[in-house]
Amino acid sequence: MIGRLNHVAIAVPDLDAACAQYRDTLGATVGAPQDEPDHGVTVVFIDLPNTKIELLHPLGHDSPITAFLTRNPGGGIHHICYEVDDILTARDRLRAAGARVLGDGAPKVGAHGKPVLFLHPKDFNGCLIELEQV
């Protein structure tokens, strides 16, 4: 059911420093920061030949990233995103298997303008999983 790895998201305490590191030290193509008020994050995409890296930084007061950075002050891998063809079919199949979908279960529009859902990390070996319909 899941397809390609769409991106790996890393929560970072200092977005400018992380961008400079990926651009100047790792030599990657780093995009412009994008505010995503619906998700409480500022996002920077880094294009790699086979996938993307998504740098996440808190935006606003009740960002979902704030608690993560409190627990991981130096930053850390926050989630990974798999592509699916049909997000509602994927959601229903996962729920039938007992997996918890975060929020009300209705897909939100993600950072790429496509529908996304998140799956509870406790159901997936401690890894927060994002599904994106492509």
- By annotation, the residues acting in catalysis are 130
Alpha carbon distance 108, 97 (integer Å): 22
Regarding 63 and contact with Co ion (CB under 5 A), the answer is: no
Q: State the minimum distance, in angstroms, from the CB of residue 77 to Co ion.
A: 11
Alpha carbon distance 129, 29 (integer Å): 24
Q: What are phi and psi of 122, to 5 degrees?
A: -70, -20
Q: State the minimum distance, in angstroms, from the CB of residue 78 to Co ion.
A: 8
Pick the closer one to Co ion by CB: 44 or 94: 44
Regarding 56 and contact with Co ion (CB under 5 A), the answer is: no
- Tell me, rounded to whole angstroms, the distance of Cα 76 from its chain centroid: 12
Q: Which residues contact 79 (CB under 8 A, 6 or more apart)?
A: 8, 9, 118, 127, 128, 129, 130
Residues 3 to 42 in contact with Co ion, rule: CB under 5 A: 9
Q: Which stretch binds Co ion (CB under 5 A): 17-25, 63-71, 80-88, 92-100?
A: 80-88
Regarding 81 and contact with Co ion (CB under 5 A), the answer is: yes
Length of the chain (residues): 134
Q: State the minimum distance, in angstroms, from the CB of residue 7 to Co ion.
A: 6
Q: Using CB under 5 A as the criterion, which residues of the chain lie in contact with Co ion when the complex forms?
A: 9, 54, 81, 130
